[in-house]
Amino acid sequence: MIQAIVAILIIFAISIIWSEVKQHREKTQKKQGDVIDISEAWIDSSRLPYRCREYLLNDAERNLYYSIQHVLQGSRYMVCPKVRLADIVDLPIRTKNRQEYLNRVRIRTVDLLICEFHELSPVLALTLEGKSSARREKLSDQFTANALKASGLPHIVYNRLNLPDQDRLLSDLSKAGLILTGSHQLSE
């Protein structure tokens, strides 16, 4: 009888230890996604389907780009089109769920980024909205705005159907902290 009780206790102890080991493995194992084959085994790399886009910016983005270029002429700033959010914001190494946060900013861009000319340090992000009324795009735009706000980078959103004139643009850029001097100051 004692041997049966000892055997049951040993089996019980082994199952508890096995359960703990299994939980520890699950916690410490890194989540791994699908393996992507980057070799040329699945495609003929001499016949890739890519083609060069005709234009980098659409009409609204290009109009705003040229307006800002004109306003910034002679200043200490420059404008960069289509910049990935991941190239603007940074995440501390020990951030919980860091990879998930990185994945979310890798797929998003700002339409225009104003940088300090010599250091290329970001000063102001500009985005255009109004192209689509899709809920998914609005949520994406909101995430981008929240990420920029959290990073401390000023952000201006314009409606692509109602772009600002030069005076409003100058006013908005000044309110955002840009120091604009010279021939493009506000006309009062």
Indicate which CATH number applies to the domain containing 103: 3.40.960
Is residue 124 in some structural domain? yes
For residue 32, pLDDT beyond 60? no
Is residue 3 in some structural domain? no
The structural domain count of the chain equals: 1
Is residue 12 in some structural domain? no
Cβ contacts of 95 within 8 Å, gap of 6 or more? 101
- Top pLDDT among 186 and 95 is at 95
For residue 183, pLDDT beyond 60? no
Share of the chain above pLDDT 70, in %: 86
Is residue 132 in some structural domain? yes
- Top pLDDT among 76 and 8 is at 76
Q: Which domain covers residue 142, as residue numbers?
A: 59-175
Q: How far apart are CA 17 and CA 20, in angstroms?
A: 5
Is residue 115 in some structural domain? yes
Contact by Cβ (8 Å): 114, 79: yes
Q: pTM of the predicted model, to two decimals?
A: 0.72
At residue 82, the pLDDT reads 95
Q: How far apart are CA 21 and CA 31, in angstroms?
A: 18
Rounded mean pLDDT of the chain?
85
Q: How far apart are CA 114 and CA 102, in angstroms?
A: 22
At residue 137, the pLDDT reads 79
Is residue 34 in some structural domain? no
At residue 38, the pLDDT reads 59
Is residue 166 in some structural domain? yes
Strands (E), 130-183: 155-159
Is residue 28 in some structural domain? no
